[in-house]
Amino acid sequence: MTDDSQDPHAQPAPLRRWQPHDHDTCAEMNQQRDFETSVSRETQKTKALIADLDRIVQILNDAINVEEKLSGIFDPLQAQYSTHARELTARRDKLADTIAALEHRLSAGIDDRPNKRTSTIVVAEI
């Protein structure tokens, strides 16, 4: 039995010709990898932002407690309640809403970045 690799008359394997879709497939794979990396980075940034906002909420809670102790009024419904404490409370509540929205966005896997292939125009109703 003879080995074809040693046979001088054996035909070499045909070379595969480059096809246009080969490049497209490679580009799509690279684009998918880049998108997954980008989403991962966005997730990390969002988690870091949530952590920062949580710290700010804690600072605001401490500032509200100090303001209430200084004024001696702890009920926001009283007319004499500190205006500064009301402002801090409003800011804290808005940050808490932002944190909740970011956490929802993470859990739902929502990506607000515009798609490169399609764009949407939103028209406000009057």
**Cα–Cα distance measured from residue 96 to residue 51, given in angstroms and rounded to the nearest whole number:** 12
64 occurs within a structural domain: yes
90 occurs within a structural domain: yes
87 occurs within a structural domain: yes
Query: By residue range, what is the domain housing residue 90?
Result: 52-110
Domain count of the fold of the chain: 1
Give the three-state DSSP class for 77: coil
Does the predicted TM-score (pTM) go above 0.85? no
Give the three-state DSSP class for 74: coil
Residue range 56-80, pLDDT digits in tens:
999 999 999 999 999 999 999 999 9
pLDDT at 87: 98
Residue partners of 35: CB distance under 8 A and separation at least 6: none
Residue range 21-42, pLDDT digits in tens:
555 566 666 666 665 666 788 8
Compute the average pLDDT of residues 111-124. 46
Question: Is residue 19 pLDDT above 90, yes or no?
Answer: no
